[in-house]
Amino acid sequence: MEKNCDILIIGGGASGLACALSASNTAGNPRIIIADRMPRTGKKLLATGNGRCNMSNLNLSEKFYHGTVSVGSLISEFPDIRPFMGALGLFTYADIAGRIYPLPNTAASVSDALRLAVEEKGIDVLTDCDCSQIKKENGRFTAITSLGSIKARTAVLACGGMAAPVHGSNGSGFVLAESMGLELTPPFPALCPLTAEGVKGLEGLRSPCKAELIINGKTLAAEEGEVQFTKSGLSGICIFNLSARFNNEPCSVKLDLSPRLPISELKSVLFSALKARSNFEAQDGFTGVFPRQLALYLLKRSNIPLSKSCSMLTEKETEAIAETAKALSFKITGRSGFDSAQVTAGGVKGGEVNSDFMAKKVKGLFLCGEILDVWGECGGYNLHFAFASGIKAGKSAALFLK
């Protein structure tokens, strides 16, 4: 059955829902359809921020974004997402690092706020509606979907990228964009774990760290945070932020696993530990300084037998443990795929859209969210961009109709 509307939004994720609400709040009372291929809208939102949804950040800045889309003017126009959320009856708090979360501390509260508002506005939501083609003829768009064709005066591609396809964004938005003649920066997974050699024995360990990505002996990027060791490599927010800088060149990640103590202090702590535990074996000597798993790993990496008596450890051996803990290097073999990535780097090039998010080559076609070639570091920057670009694109689409 054919449907008609003024604004067709393909994708009902963070950007698509914000886009729909913004369009409906703009004069003209446009008829809006949201089409999403999943059985419900906002599915990915539920998984964000470990189920808490880190929706934005108090410290917004261009420097936290990468890609060909310039975000400076968008951030100036939308420096704060809280008034938009407050108008939906959703309130927030910020943690010490400036990360903004919903007051109920659940991602479901964000998804609900958007869903209820969309319902209240009478916006038509089509779920299980996979859009496989879009074309523009005689000034109107026709989308071919699994629920039939939809005709629209303007269309918005809010399909996300390819990260975490289990939540709906399977890259089909890129196919739609390319079919309309838009150029892409080749997509690759960003904010994802890195696979690494030499992690055997550390699986499951979480540790505060300073992490550096090293290529050709130079530090390309550095982060502080918590590293999580997995069976196949390194994970955690600091590693996610480094992951997008990995470009398949031979490289390593160097970890300082004792970031609170300078090397000289760590050495003296280790000597004190040895003194206090001189009757113990090395494997028990340092468990008051490092978690046991890490202590054992450091002894092995420093070629010290676990059963060696603490009283027999030389000064050089003890210093070697401190030096290993402060500069533990892992050869990186790759990055995990889209399945375990939080965002997609690459996408529709910044040069393809105007500042109102309308495609330069296709009048009446708008784009917002992760389908665009921009990704933000961890901390709420990606959702801020999704919401802000959605709000802007929705307003622009409604104004375009006039």
Ligand X SMILES: Cc1cc2nc3c(=O)[nH]c(=O)nc-3n(C[C@H](O)[C@H](O)[C@H](O)COP(=O)(O)OP(=O)(O)OC[C@H]3O[C@@H](n4cnc5c(N)ncnc54)[C@H](O)[C@@H]3O)c2cc1C
Positions that interact with ligand X (CB under 6 A) = 10-16, 35-38, 43-44, 47-49, 53-54, 129-131, 158-160, 163-164, 168-169, 172-173, 342-343, 369-370, 380-383, 386
Q: Which is nearer to ligand X, 67 or 173 (CB)?
A: 173
Encode 41-69: b = buried (16+ Cβ within 10 Å), e = exposed: bbbbbbebbeebbbbbbeebeeebbbbbb
Contact between 74 and 381 under an 8 Å Cβ cutoff? The reply is: no
CB of 252 to ligand X, least distance (A): 26
Q: Which is nearer to ligand X, 165 or 201 (CB)?
A: 165
Q: Which is nearer to ligand X, 285 or 394 (CB)?
A: 394
**Pairing mode, if any, of strands 148-157 and 374-376?**
unpaired
- CA–CA separation, 308 and 305 (whole Å): 5
CB of 306 to ligand X, least distance (A): 38
What's the gap between Cα 304 and its chain centre?
A: 40
CB of 7 to ligand X, least distance (A): 15
Q: Which is nearer to ligand X, 14 or 273 (CB)?
A: 14
Q: Which is nearer to ligand X, 95 or 315 (CB)?
A: 95
CB of 157 to ligand X, least distance (A): 9
CB of 89 to ligand X, least distance (A): 21
CB of 229 to ligand X, least distance (A): 19
Q: Which is nearer to ligand X, 244 or 273 (CB)?
A: 244
- CA–CA separation, 140 and 142 (whole Å): 7
What angle separates helix 292-301 from helix 315-326, to the nearest 10 degrees?
A: 110
> Strands, DSSP E only, in 129-284?
131-137, 140-145, 148-157, 184-190, 194-196, 206-215, 218-229, 233-235, 251-256
Tokens of 96: 């010490």
From the number of C-beta atoms within 10 Å of its C-beta (0-12, 13-18, 19+), residue 165 rates as: middle
Q: Which is nearer to ligand X, 245 or 308 (CB)?
A: 245
CB of 34 to ligand X, least distance (A): 9
Contact between 167 and 43 under an 8 Å Cβ cutoff? The reply is: yes
Q: Which is nearer to ligand X, 55 or 296 (CB)?
A: 55
CB of 384 to ligand X, least distance (A): 6
- CA–CA separation, 134 and 132 (whole Å): 7
Q: What is the DSSP string of 181-217?
A: T--EEEEEEES--EEESS-TT-TT-EEEEEEEEEETT
What residue type is assigned to position 16 of the chain? G
- CA–CA separation, 248 and 346 (whole Å): 16
Shortest Cβ contact with ligand X: which residue? 13
CB of 98 to ligand X, least distance (A): 13
Q: Which is nearer to ligand X, 256 or 370 (CB)?
A: 370
CB of 348 to ligand X, least distance (A): 11
Give the closest residue to 347 by CA, choosing from 201, 162, 214, 196: 162
CB neighbours of residue 261 within 10 Å: 17
**Pairing mode, if any, of strands 365-367 and 218-229?**
unpaired
Q: Which is nearer to ligand X, 168 or 285 (CB)?
A: 168
